[in-house]
Amino acid sequence: MTEATQVTDHGGGVRSIRVPIPDNPLGHTLVYVLDTDAGPVLVDTGWDDPASWDTLAAGLTECGTSVTDLTGVLITHHHPDHHGLSAKVREASGAWIAMHEADAAVVRRTRENPPARWYAYMAAKLAAAGAPEEHLAPLIAARDGGRPRRLPGLDPALPDRAITPGDLLDLPGRRLRAIWTPGHTPGHVCLHLEEEHPARLPGNGRLFSGDHVLPGITPHIGLYEDPDDATVTDPLGDYLASLEGVGRLAPAEVLPAHQHAFTDAPARVRELLDHHEERLTGLLGLLAAPLTPWQLAEHMEWNRPWAEIPYGSRNIAVSEAEAHLRRLVKLGRAEAVPGSDPVTYVAVP
Ligand SMILES: [Zn+2]
Ligand SMILES: [Zn+2]
């Protein structure tokens, strides 16, 4: 019996390799191999794990090339299921790594900040969001314990090149344009292959969408965590604006980083916009009485009851609640209660 192939040929010099993400419900990252006249280039690399690396290497062999032949790596965003193997790829091949500057800044911060600073920042943020003592205690213990251990994914590769929004990338023989799509991360990019669809499907080329637009799941939109920047950003507002941009682009086919390729991008964009509008309206109902971001997260609908949500996922949930609160405040549909500490928010009647 032969092992099921992890490679899909999308035509027109584009293939994908399903690179597994260990112990993760997402299952795998779709790493794309794009042929150019200067040699193959990857879009994302996959999780840094020996089994993932082996799958990537075997997939490249099946594509008729090899890790050592790669000439470049384009990263849609800094998350470890996309950027994890970049350092290993560069080491094996000498390929350059390109990323949007805003995500490169996240990579630099992650490498430079000692874990204790990160714990202190998280503890302060969660306290301000109204998190209870028992939730803060482990972070404070970690902050004060000075554990020198590096956390997994905290030593990501520094990119060699910047991906500049609106520019055609320097890929001989291809027309690939960078589209800045902040929201899921501050420097998330989609990559628009401005070439006729190989099966002549109607629409404008093909779009490598990273985590920005996926066929069956909604990407996490939280806050952009930056200990060095107190700017009040609006990641959900950024996300919704970038989504509308992708809808207007109307690519013939979307090549996402998870799940599977799909057509009719405008319809999927519409669904995602409607989903967030419904969610914002639902939250306004919860904000009839003032709530902290933590309390709002407790009341929001998740994929399981709050009591069953594990520790790390609660942090992500609170970040998502705060991103929605910021949007509602920006829209003038909710406001902070003056003098509340920790700050509570209430719907504007
Ligand atoms: Zn991601
Ligand atoms: Zn992802």
For 107-144, the pLDDT digits (tens) are 999 888 888 888 899 999 999 999 999 999 998 988 88
* Residue 152 predicted with pLDDT over 80: no
Q: How far is the CA of 203 from the centre of ligand 2 (A)?
A: 25
Q: How far is the CA of 82 from the centre of ligand 1 (A)?
A: 7
* CA–CA–CA angle 210, 211, 217 (5° rounding): 135
Q: 252 and 287 share a domain? A: no
Residue 133 lies in a domain: no
Tokens of 282: 């639902």
Average pLDDT, the chain: 94
Q: 306 and 210 share a domain? A: no
State the average pLDDT over residues 45-62: 96
Range of the domain at 305: 279-347
Question: What are the residues whose beta carbons fall under 8 Å from the beta carbon of 265, sequence distance 6 or more?
Answer: 203, 207, 213, 246, 247, 249, 250, 251, 254
Number of folded domains in the chain?
A: 2
Q: What is the model's pLDDT at position 112?
A: 87
C-beta of residue 242 within 8 angstroms of C-beta of residue 204: no
Choose one of 247, 268, 289: the last residue of a domain.
Answer: 268
- Which ligand has its closest atom nearest to the C-alpha of 184? 1
Confidence of residue 146 (pLDDT cuts 50, 70, 90): low
- Which ligand has its closest atom nearest to the C-alpha of 183? 1
- Which ligand has its closest atom nearest to the C-alpha of 31? 2
- Which ligand has its closest atom nearest to the C-alpha of 185? 1
Q: How far is the CA of 82 from the centre of ligand 2 (A)?
A: 6
Query: Which residue from 318, 273, 266, 344 is spatially nearest to 125, judged by alpha carbons?
Result: 318
Q: What is the model's pLDDT at position 154?
A: 58
* Residue 166 predicted with pLDDT over 90: yes
Q: 199 and 244 share a domain? A: yes
Q: What is the model's pLDDT at position 148?
A: 54
State the average pLDDT over residues 221-231: 84
Q: How far is the CA of 184 from the centre of ligand 1 (A)?
A: 6
Q: What is the model's pLDDT at position 115?
A: 82
Beta bridge partner(s), residue 73: 42, 97
* Residue 153 predicted with pLDDT over 60: no
Choose one of 246, 268, 290: the last residue of a domain.
Answer: 268
CATH number assigned to the domain comprising residue 314:
1.10.10
Residue 111 lies in a domain: no
Q: How far is the CA of 257 from the centre of ligand 2 (A)?
A: 6
Confidence of residue 2 (pLDDT cuts 50, 70, 90): very low
Q: How far is the CA of 185 from the centre of ligand 1 (A)?
A: 7
Q: 170 and 213 share a domain? A: yes
Name the phi and psi angles at 257, rounded to 5: -90, -5
State the average pLDDT over residues 226-244: 91
Q: 180 and 286 share a domain? A: no
Q: What is the model's pLDDT at position 114?
A: 82
Residue 170 lies in a domain: yes
Task: Count the Cβ atoms, other than its own, within 10 Å of residue 253.
Answer: 21
CATH number assigned to the domain comprising residue 260:
3.60.15.10
Choose one of 225, 245, 268: the last residue of a domain.
Answer: 268
C-beta of residue 262 within 8 angstroms of C-beta of residue 253: yes
Q: How far is the CA of 255 from the centre of ligand 2 (A)?
A: 13
Q: 49 and 197 share a domain? A: yes
State the average pLDDT over residues 228-255: 94
Q: How far is the CA of 79 from the centre of ligand 2 (A)?
A: 7
Rounded CA separation 154/107 (Å): 8
Residue 287 lies in a domain: yes
Q: What is the model's pLDDT at position 5?
A: 78
Q: What is the model's pLDDT at position 1?
A: 38
Residue 48 lies in a domain: yes
Q: 258 and 317 share a domain? A: no
Residue 124 lies in a domain: no
- Which ligand has its closest atom nearest to the C-alpha of 258? 2
Residue 149 lies in a domain: no
Query: Which residue from 231, 216, 295 is spatially nearest to 262, judged by alpha carbons?
Result: 216
Residue 84 lies in a domain: yes
Global pTM value:
0.94
pLDDT tens across 259-274, in order?
999 999 999 999 999 9
Q: How far is the CA of 163 from the centre of ligand 1 (A)?
A: 17
Q: 182 and 247 share a domain? A: yes
Q: How far is the CA of 254 from the centre of ligand 2 (A)?
A: 15
Q: 293 and 235 share a domain? A: no
pLDDT tens across 98-113, in order?
999 999 999 999 888 8
Rounded CA separation 287/325 (Å): 10
- Which ligand has its closest atom nearest to the C-alpha of 29? 2
Q: 284 and 319 share a domain? A: yes
Confidence of residue 206 (pLDDT cuts 50, 70, 90): very high
Amino acid at residue number 110: T
Residues whose beta carbons lie less than 5 angstroms from ion ligand 2? 81, 211
Query: Which residue from 115, 114, 110 is spatially nearest to 158, judged by alpha carbons?
Result: 110
Q: What is the model's pLDDT at position 86?
A: 97
Q: 97 and 192 share a domain? A: yes
Residues whose beta carbons lie less than 5 angstroms from ion ligand 1? 79, 211
Q: 229 and 311 share a domain? A: no
* Residue 333 predicted with pLDDT over 80: yes
pLDDT tens across 76-92, in order?
999 999 999 999 999 99
Percent of the chain with pLDDT over 70: 96
